[in-house]
A and B are shown apart, each in its own frame.
Chain A
C-alpha cells in the first residue's frame, strides 16, 4: 500500500539558518496527522516544500508515491493545500475562482457539479456569486478550503486553517475536516490550537528549530508525558504556613490555589494527609489531567 506522504532526510537552509533540519517522516493513507510547533519551528517550510513552493536543500518528498520535484504534476494532482494567509484573486467571485482552480488541474465543465457541492458543504452557497474582496475573513477561509478541494485530491494539507476564525466557524470547519477524513482523505493539519490537534489528530509531530522533537500517536504522547496535578484552594494565611512547612513538596501558587505536581496518583493522598496533619483547611480541590499543551510546552521549552 502506498504511503500518503514520505519525507526523507529533508532539509532547507536559508544561508546560515536551518529552517528544516533533516526531517524523515512518513504519513500513512487516511491518517489525520498534526504538525505542531511554535512560530519559526519550520512547519510551513516543510509544507511549502511538499507543495513545490519552496525547493528543499536536501532530501526528497513523495506524495502518493510521486516525487514532488521530478513528478511534480502527478504529485500536485494528489494534494490540495489550504495556505495560511488569506489570499485571494480580487477580480473574481467565489464560483469563478473555484472553477478556474479546478480548470488548472484539467477539470472541465463536468466538474462544476462537484464545485457546487463543495460550495454547499462549506456553507458558501449564498456567497457563490460574491466577489472575493467582499467576503468576511471567515468566508474567505472557507473559500480557501474549497479551493483546495475542487480537484478532489486524496491528500489535504491545512496550514493553520482556523487561525483568526471565531469559535462557531472553527467547530464547523472541524466537523467538515473530520468528514473528509472519514471519507478516506489523508489530512495534515498544522495548528497553534493544541486542543484542535488533540481533538482531531490520530498522530502528532512536534517541531522545534526545524527538527521533530516528538512523533507518536496523540494517545501515546498523552500517556508517555502524562502528568497529573493536584490543585488545592487554601486560605491565604495557610499558604504562607505551608511554604515553610512543606519545603520538600514544591508547589506553584496562583491566588489562593496551590498546584502540586504528582509523580503518581498516590502522591495526592500523601499531600492531603500532610495538610490535614498541619491542620490546614482545604477549601476546594481538583485533580488535573495533563493535556497536549503541557506536553508541547515541555518539549518545546528551552530547557
Chain B
C-alpha cells in the first residue's frame, strides 16, 4: 500500500517544502548571513590584512575566506533544521507531518538534505562575493565538497536534535548563543591554532568545529593545522553519531508523539 514510489514522493515533497520554507524568507535566511560573513571579511581584512600571514605565501584575507564560508555554512545548516522543527512544534503544525505515513528515516533525510542545501547555498554566496576581492585557490575540490557536505549534515542533524529537544524559543536561542557561536568562533576561523598558547591548542583539539574548518581550509590551500584525514575521520564520526541519535529520537517519537 505504501510503495517505494509513495515513499520517494513523500520524502521529495517534504524536502521541497523545507527548501521553499527558507527560500520564502531568503532575506533573513540567506542575505543576512551572507552580509554578516562579508562584514567579518571586510573588518578583519582591513584591521589585520597586511600584518598577518598565517600560512606561508597566503594573505590573511585569503586565509580568512574558507573559515568564514564554513562557519556560515555550519551555522545556517543548524538554523535550518532547528528553526523548522521548533516553529512547527510551537505553532502546532508539526501535527501535519506526524499524521502522515512518512517514516522516521524519510523525515531525517528530508530535513538533513534541506539543511545541507541551505548551508551550502549561503557558503557559495559568500564564496562568489569574495571572488570579487581575492583570487582564492582550490587545491583539492573534493575535500572542499566532502567537508562542506559532512559539516552541513553534522550540523543539520545537531539542529534536528535541538529542535526536537527544545520546547521554547529561548531554549533554542541558548543552543545558538552558548554552544554553536562559541564553538564556531573558537575553532580557528580567524586564526591558526598554532598561534595559540599550548594549552589552548590542546583545548582546540576537543572542538569538532576546528576539524570541520581546518579540513575545509585544506581543500583550498593544501595546508592545514592538523592532518585532513584525521579531520575527516573525526567529522565523519561526529556526523554518524549525531545522525544515529537523531534517528533514535525520531523513531521513538521523543518529545514529538506524546
The docked-state distance in angstroms from the alpha carbon of A64 to that of B14 is: 26
Consensus secondary structure, chain B interface: helix
A88 in contact with B93 (CB, 8 Å): yes
| Total chain B interface residues with beta-carbon distance under 8 A | 33
| Closest CB in chain B relative to A277 CB, distance in Å | 64
The docked-state distance in angstroms from the alpha carbon of A77 to that of B14 is: 17
Pick from A52, A88, A103: contact of B10, CB under 8 Å? A103
The 7 closest A-B pairs by CB, nearest first: A106-B6, A103-B13, A87-B92, A73-B101, A104-B100, A73-B2, A76-B101
A11 within 8 A of B: no
B24 in contact with A91 (CB, 8 Å): yes
| Closest CB in chain B relative to A149 CB, distance in Å | 13
The docked-state distance in angstroms from the alpha carbon of A40 to that of B182 is: 46
| Closest CB in chain A relative to B164 CB, distance in Å | 15
| Closest CB in chain B relative to A121 CB, distance in Å | 20
B96 within 8 A of A: yes
**Using a CB–CB distance below 8 Å, which chain A residues touch chain B?**
51-55, 72-74, 76-77, 81, 83, 85, 87-92, 96, 100-101, 103-108, 147
Other CB < 8 Å A-B pairs besides A76-B100, A89-B96, A104-B101, 20 of them? A52-B98, A52-B257, A55-B253, A73-B1, A73-B103, A74-B1, A74-B101, A77-B1, A77-B101, A83-B92, A87-B91, A87-B95, A89-B91, A91-B24, A91-B25, A100-B16, A101-B100, A104-B10, A105-B10, A108-B9
B248 within 8 A of A: no
Residues of A near B98 (CB, < 8 A) are 51-53
| Cβ proximity bits B91-116 to A, threshold 8 Å, 1 near / 0 not | 11101111111110000000000000
Residues of B near A74 (CB, < 8 A) are 1-2, 101
| Closest CB in chain A relative to B228 CB, distance in Å | 39
A77 in contact with B2 (CB, 8 Å): yes
